[in-house]
Amino acid sequence: MKKWIISLLAVPILLVGCNTNEEQSEVDTNEEPVDVSALEVKVDILTPDEVKVGEPVELAAHVTQNNENVEDADSVEFEVWESGLREQGAMIKAEHAGDGVYKAEFTFNHDGVYYMYAHTTARGLHVMPKKQIVAGNPDMSKVLPEQDTSKEDTEQMQHDHSQDEHEDSHENH
């Protein structure tokens, strides 16, 4: 009789224990889609489209994520080159100026059509918007055509990434 009573008491206790475990192992079935655009780091280049020759120009970019200023970008560098002469370009490291804005100074030393990338690495993402800048009054007939750099940039980024992995593997040995 005692065994029968103990069995009757043990069954509800076991069932309560199983219920507790089920509650802990519940899976979140939240059906709301993830807003991928909220995760994206956005970079707006603030540098004007037209600048004067021989005077310092403020290169600037506003970095945001999910409509909030990014104050902790890993790096922001401005790559500036004259149209068709990217290999002769300059890389200028930007400084954080507050409110998600990163700035550097550059002087365009002659009339021309220039391009600028705002290489931005923040929160695990690399973004590099491009902008055309006209300095002074260039003779458009003498401006070299800009090469399509999208394939070139992709190959360079892949090379840089594989080079980093190669260097990391050497550091770990």
Check: CB of residue 135 under 8 Å from CB of residue 107.
Answer: no
pLDDT score of 162: 39
Check: CB of residue 170 under 8 Å from CB of residue 140.
Answer: no
The burial class, CB within 10 Å (0-12 / 13-18 / 19+), for 129 is middle
Over residues 12-17, the mean pLDDT reads 55
- Is-above-0.75 flag for pTM? no
Mean pLDDT of the chain: 80
pLDDT score of 27: 60
pLDDT score of 157: 46
Does 21 have pLDDT greater than 90?
A: no
Q: Find, among 73, 125, 68, the residue nearest to 95 by Cα.
A: 73
Q: What is the DSSP letter of 114?
A: E
pLDDT score of 138: 96
Q: Domain map of the chain by residue range?
A: 43-139
Query: How far is the C-alpha of 48 from the C-alpha of 108, rounded, in Å?
Result: 13
pLDDT score of 54: 97
**Least confident span in 25-34, 95-104, 154-163:** 154-163
Enumerate the H helices of the chain as residue ranges: 2-24, 36-39, 150-171
Cα dist from 72 to 129, 153, 160, 162, whole Å: 19, 25, 23, 26
Length of the chain: 173
Check: CB of residue 93 under 8 Å from CB of residue 104.
Answer: yes
* Fold type of domain 43-139: Immunoglobulin-like (2.60.40)
Does 143 have pLDDT greater than 70?
A: yes
Does 154 have pLDDT greater than 50?
A: no
Over residues 142-164, the mean pLDDT reads 58
Question: Which is more confident, 163 or 124?
Answer: 124
At 128, the pLDDT band (50, 70, 90 cuts) reads: very high
Question: Which is more confident, 147 or 15?
Answer: 147
Look up residue 36 and give its two tokens.
Answer: 């991928």
> pLDDT, tens digit, for every residue of 42-60?
999 999 999 999 999 999 9
